[in-house]
Structure 1
């Protein structure tokens, strides 16, 4: 019989999480954070608050923080619409001197975001404007397949929003 080996899981994390509870694990990283969560209404609210607080804390201005919160909310909302409620998602925020990246990873590589045929200014639509918002705030956003799903990356340039 072999003795139990205290592997990496037994040691303390390099960057202790600020919050670790059922369905919500927030790990602070240099220049941002990584949040693993089940996409419930309560977790969505907390994620939006955390994105705004973190990005505003980078000193890039409230307009960038508000845009990052909106992007993260839209991307996680799309993941829920495409994959279902309580979808496990990873939200990562990374701040650089000239931009902030918002990344959302979900478990369905084939469930790709798609635009409706209706224009975004159609007053009769109750939803369906998220990708138009994404295009306006973070042109050039990408979708990358991963070994466990897909990751959407949106980059917010700081200078344009900070000057507004």
Structure 2
């Protein structure tokens, strides 16, 4: 199965005080780079990084398998970024990840991919999270439901998403504030 990884990294990071796409670990590795490496390591053939706030300042890894696209409407919310990412995807499925989970282990991504289902979502102790796999046959219909700060949760729930418990591998937290 040919999978495009999609990294959602367009937000302004208001609670963080800066766009999360500009952040790096203490060791100097950018969160964008971590997300791209994770998706490629898990088996994605290519990765699309969706940028928005401070897009011109974000350093995207130089790799033929990684492409960046800019969501000009990023301020409207996650829905528009997901739309831009799915529109740039190719292959059989898109694996959606978020930039603010720099500690997400590759084992979570591999578990989601291993199901083989067309709609899959990682859950952590029963709570929906990322990554999310959306098969190509669902892209157009999912895009039609996206808007504002709504992602694809309602679409996934209405169309039989397979929830894959990953709480034994990670706690599912995303980093929204400094230090947390």
Using CA pairs below 8 Å that are at least 6 residues apart, which structure has the higher relative contact order?
2
TM-score by structure 1 length?
0.31
More strand per residue: 1
